[in-house]
Amino acid sequence: MKEQNSEERIRGYCSQCTCYCPTVAYVKNGTFTEAKPDEEHPNACELCPRGLAGPELVYNRQRLRYPMRRTSPKGDPNPGWERISWDEALATITKRLNEIKAQFGSEAVAFARCGPGGSPMSETFHWIKRLAYAFGTPNIVETTHICNWHKDQCSRYTFGMEYLPQQTLPDFEHAGCILIWGNNPHATRYAQLRDIKRGLEQGAKLVVIDPRKIPIAGMANLWLPVQPGTDGLLALSMIHVIIEEDLYDYEFVRDWTTAPFLVRGDTGNFLKGSDLKDEGAPLNYVMVNSSSKKPEQYIPGSTPFVEPALDIELTLKLVTGEKVKCKTVSRLLRELVSEYPPHRTETSTWIPADKVKDAVRMFATAKPACWYSYNGLEQSTNASQTNRAISIFYALTGNYDTHGGNLLFPAPSVNRIDGLEFLNPKIARRRLGFQERPLGPVGTVGAVQAYEVYKSILTGKPYPVKALIGFGGNVITSSAPSMVAKDAISKLDFHVQCELFLTPTAELADIVLPAASFWESLSVRANFRSPGATTHVQLREPVIPPQHDSWPDMKVIFEMAKRLGLGDKFWDGNIESAFNYMIAPSNITVEQLRRNPGGISLNLPLEYKKYEKKDRSGKFLGFDTPSKRVELYSQIFKEHGYDPLPAWKEPPTFRFAQTNLGEKYPLILINTKLLHYSHGQHRAIPSLRKAVPYPFVEINHTKASELGIEAGEWVILESPYGSVTLQAKPTDTVPYGVVSTQHGWWQECQDPSAAHCR
Ligand SMILES: Nc1nc2c(c(=O)[nH]1)N[C@H]1C(S)=C(S)[C@@H](COP(=O)(O)OP(=O)(O)OC[C@H]3O[C@@H](n4cnc5c(=O)[nH]c(N)nc54)[C@H](O)[C@@H]3O)O[C@H]1N2
Ligand SMILES: Nc1nc2c(c(=O)[nH]1)N[C@H]1C(S)=C(S)[C@@H](COP(=O)(O)OP(=O)(O)OC[C@H]3O[C@@H](n4cnc5c(=O)[nH]c(N)nc54)[C@H](O)[C@@H]3O)O[C@H]1N2
Ligand code: SF4
Ligand SMILES: [Mo]
């Protein structure tokens, strides 16, 4: 028993987004009363309203309290929820999963989780993967394809897959120029905003590319209010300017990118040493000697014997006797972007040519420079090639892995815990969507898109998914199309949802499990994903015990594993042993962390330009790509039927304008995140709901008055795909012709103090 009038200060961190803001939780007489920032932590940061609302989340009256099972058939307006014990819930789950596995195969069971960028799932999802893989299914429903995949993976297809565990982050604090593209840090990334402000205080210039005049646009030297969906085109114009005005980093481009490599005109593949000579090596690329204009083989990772020509084309006789016209990557890139000078793209991008030039000059000349992009570039049809184009633009500036650039920060070594080794590689290749898109989100990380699962449930093709085990994640509101999602999820043979609230997705489950919030759960974090805190390791103890009959996700996962006979892969349910295994390569133990409540920062050196380092054989480490260079031209994309250079394709919705749909739907719709909510969460938290009581649509003042729409009026927003009713918010922060809203409004707030918000 705690003493009367006891007050504890418990150090930890908020994990509701990837800022991981350090916290001090105040617990008075056993009650969690307040969350404040932990000023002594290397990642010290102001807490956003969602972090400050910790106690309101923990003690929320709408939380799920105990495991329940449905007693009425799905579709019945009254599900007939009946309280059951954890024991009964786990026994039923084990029985049903084993039956489905025996009848349809293990891949007929899919797991799901919430988006780790906007929930505490980043500390659990590797363990969920471990459970899924140990069970034998490759199907884990993730949200990466509408969240972060293109920025993370398409830059990796360009710069390499990184020497893990290092992590690329923009070194804002030391930058000469910062580019923020499709990201609103005032709402979504407090820790990053702190670092951007530090950079600006030290004189960094700032370029912001966002259709809306977000707060950071007001702080920028240049704000480019781009037409939504045309960023790929804008990036090509920017590449055009950097090449035409000779603003690129010549040495870096020559020595560390594929710019001087020859590409065959007949096949579009790289010309290889073996194409030229019998004794030539199939892995060698070919450059052209700039003085003799003769081809020379180049071994990846070596120092070229000659000064290569960058921008050249020539016809070469191959070993087969045929003559083939070849061009360097540099030439191909220049030819591509010559189609898109800024004066030709300005009507589409809405950015005047001079402004594009100013932005490029500012970014390319103010060395060092770094960039960050996010959701504004992820949720459009061109997301992959747009992010490729931006990566290429950035590569041309030569700033990668430099002080003040996008830098690979050191991070603690950890053991891989996702258990991929348990999954039979043949089954891994059966994950839904893999055959169609082996390069995409489904190819690299094992993530499956919800729409593939909906298709499988509804059509049984390519094979049926019969069961879903969801750890958070609310696919019905987050993975469109919602009505298809609802239909599919309600047709599952067996569905379990581990949740804090009874979401529209959880409402359709056969069994609902009450999850404890992260405040009530133990976790270990290695790497706080902020410059200066990437080497930090910390144990987060629960602030108070799990409320009601809830369990932390980790306990649910580990107990489920034990029941399924997988205890040997889960340290027989001992979560601390599992974390000890995770951090073992850094020579730290959970016990040591317990003695250091604020965590331990490892002394790992910060090094720059690691690509210049050599391996034991004397070859450059280079980049972690097949060519060991930055891949301006992507052979992998080519092999899979995609453009090897980021060709521009107009989004299909642009064609509306040429049809009668253009008249019916004259506005462009975008959606954005709100500071007070993560996706579909937090609406039940009184202080947050009071701040933003209703879903709203921002519309330009002029447009609103043309349409006779007043502030606060309820309006219907309609697209060819559906409609919603929203409160109108006329504003000057969105361009004429653009409207902006939010997703995820499903929940009421039952707290009497917020009654007016319902
Ligand atoms: N239309 C539209 N759709 C979008 C987006 C958009 O901008 N527009 N954004 C996309 C993006 S970027 C993302 S990341 C996804 C997010 O997709 P989701 O993660 O599916 O969305 P959320 O509404 O955040 O749902 C998370 C759920 O997890 C629960 N939860 C929170 N913490 C925990 C926990 O610790 N344990 C458990 N078991 N459950 C927990 C919450 O109560 C909540 O119901 O949505 C995507 N979908
Ligand atoms: N408060 C809060 N924080 C969050 C989350 C949350 O839900 N709430 N979610 C977390 C998650 S999972 C994610 S993925 C991140 C997302 O973080 P952000 O990327 O900041 O999210 P958004 O607000 O969706 O989009 C950012 C900006 O993109 C702009 N934009 C829209 N369309 C376009 C376009 O076509 N081009 C360009 N250039 N810009 C465009 C919008 O105007 C918006 O300002 O936030 C994380 N943090
Ligand atoms: S920004 Fe807010 S939600 Fe994200 S970690 Fe910090 S306090 Fe938590
Ligand atoms: Mo996300």
Going from the Cα of 444 to the center of ligand 3, the distance in angstroms, rounded, reads: 28
For residue 408, the cross-strand partners are: 168
Q: Supply the pLDDT for residue 445.
A: 56
Going from the Cα of 115 to the center of ligand 1, the distance in angstroms, rounded, reads: 5
Nearest CA to ligand 2 atom 26: 183
Nearest CA to ligand 1 atom 8: 743
Going from the Cα of 501 to the center of ligand 3, the distance in angstroms, rounded, reads: 20
- For residue 272, being part of any structural domain is answered with no
The bridge status of strand 494-499 relative to strand 511-514 is: parallel
Asked whether residue 419 falls in the same domain as residue 489, the answer is yes
Q: Please name which of 585, 597, 740 lies closest in space to residue 210, comparing C-alpha atoms.
A: 740
Nearest CA to ligand 2 atom 35: 228
Going from the Cα of 743 to the center of ligand 1, the distance in angstroms, rounded, reads: 10
Q: Please name which of 67, 86, 64, 68 lies closest in space to residue 562, comparing C-alpha atoms.
A: 86
The count of structural domains within the chain is 4
Asked whether residue 52 falls in the same domain as residue 70, the answer is no
- Residue 346: φ, ψ to 5°: -65, -30
Residues 287-322 have pLDDT tens digits of 999 999 999 999 999 987 779 999 999 999 999 999
Nearest CA to ligand 2 atom 7: 678
Residues with a CB atom less than 6 Å from ligand 1: 114-115, 117-120, 143, 146-147, 375, 471-475, 477-478, 480, 498-501, 503, 515, 517-518, 553, 671, 678-681, 743-744
Asked whether residue 438 falls in the same domain as residue 455, the answer is yes
Tell whether ligand 2 has an atom less than 6 A from the beta carbon of residue 67: no
Catalogue the E-assigned strands of 564-618: 600-601
Cα–Cα distance for residue pair 679/411, rounded to 1 Å: 29
Going from the Cα of 117 to the center of ligand 1, the distance in angstroms, rounded, reads: 9
- For residue 542, being part of any structural domain is answered with no
Asked whether residue 239 falls in the same domain as residue 339, the answer is yes
Boundary residue ending a domain (344, 372, 407): 407
CATH number at residue 698: 2.40.40.20
Cα–Cα distance for residue pair 254/276, rounded to 1 Å: 22
Tell whether ligand 2 has an atom less than 6 A from the beta carbon of residue 670: yes
- For residue 735, being part of any structural domain is answered with yes
Interhelix angle for 353-365 vs 342-349, to 10°? 110
Nearest CA to ligand 3 atom 3: 16
Tell whether ligand 3 has an atom less than 6 A from the beta carbon of residue 48: yes
Helix or strand holding residue 10 (H, E): strand 7-13
Tell whether ligand 3 has an atom less than 6 A from the beta carbon of residue 185: no
Nearest CA to ligand 2 atom 14: 147
Q: Under a CB-based contact definition with an 8 Å cutoff, are residues 531 and 409 in contact?
A: yes
Q: Write the single-letter amino acid at 417.
A: I
Nearest CA to ligand 1 atom 26: 473
Asked whether residue 354 falls in the same domain as residue 471, the answer is no
Compute CA distances 176 → 39, 201, 205, 398, 627, whole Å.
27, 11, 6, 13, 30
- For residue 255, being part of any structural domain is answered with no
Q: Counting ligands in written order, which one lies closest to the CA of residue 18?
A: 3
Ligand 3 atom nearest the C-alpha of 51 is 7
Boundary residue ending a domain (524, 558, 592): 558
Taking the CA atoms of residue 624, residue 628, residue 632 and residue 635 in that order, the dihedral angle to the nearest 10 degrees is: -90
Ligand 2 atom nearest the C-alpha of 117 is 12
Going from the Cα of 545 to the center of ligand 3, the distance in angstroms, rounded, reads: 21
Ligand 3 atom nearest the C-alpha of 23 is 7
What Rg value do the Cα atoms of the chain yield, rounded?
27
Cα–Cα distance for residue pair 16/25, rounded to 1 Å: 15
Asked whether residue 138 falls in the same domain as residue 153, the answer is no
Cα–Cα distance for residue pair 72/145, rounded to 1 Å: 35
Q: Supply the pLDDT for residue 143.
A: 92
Tell whether ligand 2 has an atom less than 6 A from the beta carbon of residue 120: no
Measure CA of the first residue to CA of the last residue in the chain; give whole Å: 39
Going from the Cα of 434 to the center of ligand 1, the distance in angstroms, rounded, reads: 23
Cα–Cα distance for residue pair 227/245, rounded to 1 Å: 25
Tell whether ligand 2 has an atom less than 6 A from the beta carbon of residue 150: no
Q: Counting ligands in written order, which one lies closest to the CA of residue 519?
A: 1
Q: Counting ligands in written order, which one lies closest to the CA of residue 474?
A: 1
Asked whether residue 175 falls in the same domain as residue 135, the answer is no
Tell whether ligand 3 has an atom less than 6 A from the beta carbon of residue 51: yes
Domain that holds residue 51: 7-58
Report helix, strand or coil for 348.
helix
H helix and E strand count, the chain: 27, 30
Asked whether residue 131 falls in the same domain as residue 108, the answer is yes
CATH number at residue 31: 2.20.25.90
- For residue 259, being part of any structural domain is answered with no
Report helix, strand or coil for 202.
coil
Tell whether ligand 3 has an atom less than 6 A from the beta carbon of residue 47: yes
Ligand 3 atom nearest the C-alpha of 49 is 2
Tell whether ligand 3 has an atom less than 6 A from the beta carbon of residue 688: no
Tell whether ligand 3 has an atom less than 6 A from the beta carbon of residue 17: yes
Residue of 16, 180, 188, 478 to mutate, ligand 2, most atoms within 8 A of C-beta: 188
- For residue 328, being part of any structural domain is answered with no
Q: Under a CB-based contact definition with an 8 Å cutoff, are residues 245 and 366 in contact?
A: no
Nearest CA to ligand 2 atom 34: 228
Compute CA 211 distance to the chain's CA centroid, rounded to the nearest angstrom.
21
- What parts of the chain have a pLDDT lower than 70? 1-4, 162-167, 441-446, 755-758
Boundary residue ending a domain (372, 407, 442): 407
- For residue 534, being part of any structural domain is answered with no
Tell whether ligand 3 has an atom less than 6 A from the beta carbon of residue 519: no
DSSP 114-130: --GGGSGGGGTHHHHHH
Tell whether ligand 2 has an atom less than 6 A from the beta carbon of residue 673: yes
- Residue 484: φ, ψ to 5°: -65, -40
What 8-state DSSP symbol labels residue 567?
G
Asked whether residue 339 falls in the same domain as residue 219, the answer is yes
Q: Please name which of 253, 249, 255 lies closest in space to residue 301, comparing C-alpha atoms.
A: 255
Q: Under a CB-based contact definition with an 8 Å cutoff, are residues 584 and 387 in contact?
A: no
CATH number at residue 368: 3.40.228.10
DSSP 258-270: STT-EEETTT-SB
- For residue 617, being part of any structural domain is answered with no
Q: Under a CB-based contact definition with an 8 Å cutoff, are residues 273 and 282 in contact?
A: yes
Produce one character per residue of 169-184: b if its CB has 16 or more CB atoms within 10 Å, e if not. Answer: bbbbbbbbbbbbbbbb
Q: Counting ligands in written order, which one lies closest to the CA of residue 190?
A: 3
Residue of 38, 41, 47 to mutate, ligand 3, most atoms within 8 A of C-beta: 47
Asked whether residue 82 falls in the same domain as residue 31, the answer is no
Asked whether residue 445 falls in the same domain as residue 491, the answer is yes
Nearest CA to ligand 1 atom 3: 478
What 8-state DSSP symbol labels residue 257?
B
- Residue 9: φ, ψ to 5°: -115, 115
Asked whether residue 442 falls in the same domain as residue 339, the answer is no
Tell whether ligand 2 has an atom less than 6 A from the beta carbon of residue 669: no
Residue of 111, 127, 478, 558 to mutate, ligand 1, most atoms within 8 A of C-beta: 478
Going from the Cα of 211 to the center of ligand 2, the distance in angstroms, rounded, reads: 12
Q: Please name which of 120, 116, 117, 115 lies closest in space to residue 15, comparing C-alpha atoms.
A: 120
Q: Under a CB-based contact definition with an 8 Å cutoff, are residues 155 and 624 in contact?
A: no
Going from the Cα of 734 to the center of ligand 2, the distance in angstroms, rounded, reads: 15
Q: Supply the pLDDT for residue 303.
A: 85
Residue 103 neighbours by CB under 8 Å, 6+ apart: none
What 8-state DSSP symbol labels residue 60?
-
Residues 220-235 have pLDDT tens digits of 999 999 999 999 999 9
